[in-house]
Amino acid sequence: MTRIITIDKTGSIKEQNIKKFDESELYKKAGFKTSKNFVKNNVWETVETANKTYSNIALYGKTEGSAGRENKYEMPPPSDKVLFFGTIVIVSYDENDNAVDLTKPDWLTIYDTLFGGFEDLEEDDEDTDEEEIVDPSLLTKHGYLKDDFIVEDGEEEDELEYDSELSEEEYFH
């Protein structure tokens, strides 16, 4: 039994088991009735991650289809320039071109590596919010910085000064 990855048009990643691997039957694992336009688009020959080196990661998908069936999953280069339709299939092969297990965690690691890594945009505990570094005595009762931009209730606004040679109506129009 061999595990492969399928990615549906919404980007949902799933592992599927294949009892007897046959490359010509992969279109069925993607949910297609025929193999028409279902092609091997790309093979990443060597992907070196921090923990393991993967060989021959192949990407299969339909490159023609109807509007509304476009696969929204962002593929790594060079497959990022290709529009796929429906479900995509990803298979790992060994050096003898035999299909080998590819798990979802493996694919996510490979994906991250192929894109050159991603920065974690979540806030760290070490980060401080702007409010934490501002002296509380400089904040209004609503938490805004007292910088004369926001007028508190009860504070008077400066009256507009008009050009004495223009009437109020001429000034605003």
Whole-number pLDDT of residue 170: 60
**Would you state the pLDDT for residue 159?**
47
Q: Which position has the token pair 């999953």?
A: 73
pLDDT score at 140: 74
Q: What is the pLDDT of residue 131?
A: 45
Question: What is the mean pLDDT of each successive set of 10 residues along the chain, which is 173 residues long?
Answer: 93 93 92 92 85 89 91 88 93 92 92 73 53 67 65 53 56 58
> Long-range CB contacts (< 8 A, 24+ apart) of 14-23?
14/104, 15/102, 15/103, 15/104, 18/99, 21/99, 23/91, 23/99
What are the distances in angstroms from CA 75 to CA 26, 39, 71, 155?
19, 15, 10, 56
User: How far is Cα 63 from Cα 153, in angstroms, rounded to an integer?
Assistant: 61
Cis peptide before 76 (omega within 30 of 0): no
In the chain, DSSP assigns E strands to: 2-7, 13-18, 38-48, 53-62, 85-93, 99-100
- Per DSSP, the residues of 93-108 read E-TTS-EE---HHHHH
Q: How far apart are CA 37 and CA 55, in angstroms?
A: 25
Locate the domains of the chain by residue range: 2-114
